[in-house]
A and B are shown apart, each in its own frame.
Chain A
Amino acid sequence: MAKRVLLIEDEPNIIEAISFILSRDGWTVHAHENGETAMAKVNAFPPDLIILDVMLPGRSGFDILRDLRAQAATAATPVMMLTARGQAKDRELAKRLGANHFMIKPFSNADVRDHVRALMEA
């Protein structure tokens, strides 16, 4: 069965792009647009990998990451963070909170695909 990727992102165009890239590579992609309800979504149907945007309506991606790492069920789920802000301190914060990878927008499609592959295999 295809592995499930949960994409937490609020820009419809970016959702469409990443879904296209990853589906082409064989993943099942689910998208969720709201930061506030993201945790509920994760817990209702735990994914194999999470792609998490930083600036989300309702709640920041960093807060969600902290929650993910705090609960046993998702403590080890690979998380790849996306941000359009691209500041050094964001990258450090993401690392410290336990993100597996940190990616700055705009990204190259190949990069996304390769890193998802790498995280799933690890």
Chain B
Amino acid sequence: MVSFNILVAVALLYVALLFGVAFYAERRAARGFGGWLYSPIVYTLSLSIYCTAWTFYGAVGYAARSGLEFVTIYLGPTLVVVGWWWVLRRLVRIGRTQRITSIADLISSRFGKSTQLGVIVTILAVVAATPYIALQLQSVTLSFAVFAEAGGAFWGEDELNGAAIAVAIGLATFTVLFGTRNLDANERHHGIVMAIAVEAVVKLLALLAVGIFVVWGVAGGPTQILQQIDASPIAHWDQNGARWISLIFVSGAAFICLPRMFQVLVVENVDERHLNIAGWAFPAYLMLMSLFVVPIAVVGLAILPAGANPDLFVLTVPLSEGQSGLAMFSFLGGFSSATSMVIVSTIALATMVSNHIVVPIWLNARAGAGAKMSGDVRSVILLSRRFSIAGVLALGYLYYRVSGGGTALAAIGLVSFSGAIQVLPSLIGGIFWRGATRVGAALGLITGFSVWSWTLFLPSIGTGAIISDAVMLYGPFGHSWLRPEALFGIAGIDPLVHGIMWSMILNAFLFFIGSVFSFPTPLERLQGAQFVNVFDYSAGSSNWRASAADAEDLLIMSQRIMGGTEAQGFFQREAAAQGKAGYLPDVTIEFVSLLERELAGSVGAATAHAMVGQLTEGSGVSVEDLIAVADEAAQILEYSNQLEAKSAEQERTARALRDANEKLTALSVQKDAFLSQISHELRTPMTSIRSFSEILRDGEMTADAQWRYAGIIHDETLRLTRLLDDLLDLSVLANGQVTLQDQSGDLRSLITRAVDVAGGEDSKLRVLRDPSAEAIVLRTDLDRLGQVFINLIANARKYCDAVTPTLSIKVRRVSGDYVIDFVDNGSGVQIKNQQVIFEKFSRVSDQSKAGGAGLGLAICREIMHRLGGEISYLPGQGGAAFRVVLPRAAILANR
């Protein structure tokens, strides 16, 4: 007999293994080696979170109680995957193009990025999922109890509750660790997906193992088991047609609508084509999962004492046969089913709660400050997700306690399913019917939700718990037509069928009526057109007009949400696409729409819209948009899309020509300016030299004064020499006559040397570094590279105007390159000067303080150019910030 302690140890080991898998997968994905992570098999296996503890334990119990009806739970999704693949494909495509993060986000986004709808769907999803999460806690707890009791201990309520709370806390920890590690684009969680794929394999193998044991080990072979099935009551059960149809419908719809299914099906999908494989592989998986359900149920009923809980046959049959190893494996299967469901559900729900409830409230509270002023949005979102995860699990635990954990597993599962599918009318209507409106969706959702709560959810908690027995029998306040199990006086229908029927009919009806009799806002029509015609033009239209939003403000905001590296990369790419250097693209309609979509991947469409809206001028919909909407015919739209593309191209060409022309003019102006500048730079020190030498020649002064004036002459001669050196250096670099040295050494000591040279002993400048990140071996012209560092550090020393000037030197990887950022805490460089400072003689601050000729950065730029790297100004960092991109060829090793 397996002791209870060993079981707990095995469970913990198993969790540690999953942890390792998730961690490893995450690492691979982050390094870009995720090849097999993106395979259709992993995708298909991840879909198996459809099979929860309810399926693992509950299907057998279901079969023991109601015969073959359990098959409906597998038939629904099979029909959807096989017959409705075109709906799935459409959902996945919309999810991708609109960067949808959850089902609430999809509904909200479709109906004009409506915050209210997001809130409604979120609340609905949380309420519907709560019983289901409770169910998973219950099943894990019960399976622990089975082992404890088999070991001779008796578990009372206290032990059960203790185990449930321990499981809930453990799951919350795991989910927080892997579900909220980062806010990446599109909310994908490679680690989690990999872990649930492993769990999918474990639960399938476990169930198959128990099944094979039951057929060959207990019953004595296939022939015997078939005879036994024929003889058992399961074969003679009457099948209720209405229940079958309702259940197939509910489970099929739930396959699309459940937040956790939407998460793996749409959000975590990396390739639309995976649906093709999943189309046959997932039904095959379900078939294998259901293969031995009936044999196990039959054998369980036969060999176990009457009154044994059929929901636990999968465990108790092997245990009663003395197969404790098999029972343990089976336990792990059930454990896998429960944990994978809870983890994904919780992530999906937490994303919804955080994006649609917490962040909007927080944004509103800070509306005056504006998104860019409001601190680190990123950390607020992550924090709110973590709390949401804990909150969702706490709700599940609460439901478990209140409902007493007594109800049969399958019944809770179906209540939960029928709640989640209230989204179906709005979802299907939203992606196929352009006439669907926000009012219709809200009416349908609220009605469906209310009817479901009244007829199914509240009674499920247990009669007497919330709805009294009297109300169940006679209706509230004596209104008998409102009886939860006989609405409108139609009694005699199975309660489940009754609840599903009324909630769906009223939901769909009000959705339709509301849509027909309300007028959609322009934004709704635009979104509607994009969702319904997602396959015609995935390009997307623009809801923003050119505005006064400052590119730098947008960058600052985006950095807070997407993280610095991602945001800078995105801005730089977009700027390059517009033919501009640096990090700040023109704030065009296209750019703002793209940015909004990029942000939507992290915070949801409605929130992204609101955030960008705070920074851009026209937060509503512009005249152009209205015209675009009026002209709805898809053909015209497509034609105009083509025209737009053409005119955009022409504009690019024109801009390139204009730039070239400006450059030519600028070149000749530059030549004049350059000569005049050199003249100025040479004559200034000469003036001092001439004047003071004349003064010295005149004599008649103190020895001190003489000494001082000679000193000035000496310093000014040095200044002249330095200037000439710089000029020659620059000219040699610019003409490419320079011979680069081939040296190798490590970055850390190079930076240390530069800090020593440039810092000076009297310097107030504090330099912050991360020596571990600097452990890179380089092979390049180290003297030249060092010259660049010296220049940047010296600039910080000269120009940083903070009270305690601090320069931080950070080495990191940005899309395959090693970059070094030099960021000080002064007031930075004004935008208009950010490009200029790399020009010759551009000194944007006080001359006397600078002491150089304004050639330093120009030389740095030439050097980096020669070395094959880059140097640029990095806006939006607070102080002055320069980024040096090390030449790729120079990296020998990263220690």
Binding site for B on A (CB under 8 A): 10-14, 16-18, 20-21, 33, 55, 57, 84-87, 104-110
Contacts and interface: CB of A to CB of B under 8 A. Distances in A.
B676 A87 contact: yes
B847 A107 contact: no
Given A57-B847, A85-B676, A107 B690 contact: yes
Nearest to A13: B688
B684 A11 contact: yes
Contacts of B687: 11, 14, 17, 84, 105-107
A31 to B, nearest CB: 12
Given A10-B847, A11-B847, A108-B694, A17 B688 contact: yes
A109 B683 contact: no
6 contacts: A11-B847, A57-B845, A84-B684, A107-B687, A107-B690, A109-B694
B792 to A, nearest CB: 23
A22 B381 CA distance: 68
Specify which of A21, A104, A106, A108 lies most central, judged by the most chain B CB atoms within 10 Å of its CB. A106
Contact of B846 (A21, A57, A86): A57
Given A14-B687, A17-B688, A57-B847, 20 more contacts: A10-B846, A11-B684, A11-B687, A13-B716, A17-B687, A17-B692, A20-B695, A21-B691, A84-B679, A84-B683, A85-B680, A85-B683, A86-B679, A87-B679, A105-B687, A106-B687, A106-B689, A107-B687, A108-B690, A108-B694
B848 interface: yes
Interface of B: 676, 679-681, 683-684, 686-692, 694-695, 698, 712, 716, 845-848
Contacts of A105: 683-684, 686-687
Contact of A106 (B686, B712, B845, B847): B686
A66 B382 CA distance: 59
Nearest to B719: A13
Contact of B712 (A13, A18, A21, A104): A13
A21 B687 CA distance: 13
A16 B712 contact: yes
Contacts of B683: 84-86, 104-106
Nearest to B849: A57
Nearest to A34: B846
Contacts of B846: 10, 57
Contact of B848 (A11, A18, A21, A109): A11
Contacts of B698: 109
B832 to A, nearest CB: 15
Contacts of B716: 13
A85 B673 CA distance: 10
Nearest to B690: A106
A55 B694 CA distance: 24
B675 to A, nearest CB: 9
A89 to B, nearest CB: 10
Contacts of A109: 691, 694-695, 698
A57 B845 CA distance: 8
A13 B684 CA distance: 9
Contacts of B689: 106
B691 A14 contact: yes
B173 to A, nearest CB: 59
* A-B CB proximity, top 10 nearest: A17-B691, A84-B683, A13-B688, A106-B687, A105-B687, A106-B690, A84-B680, A109-B694, A106-B686, A105-B683
B848 A10 contact: yes
Contacts of B681: 84
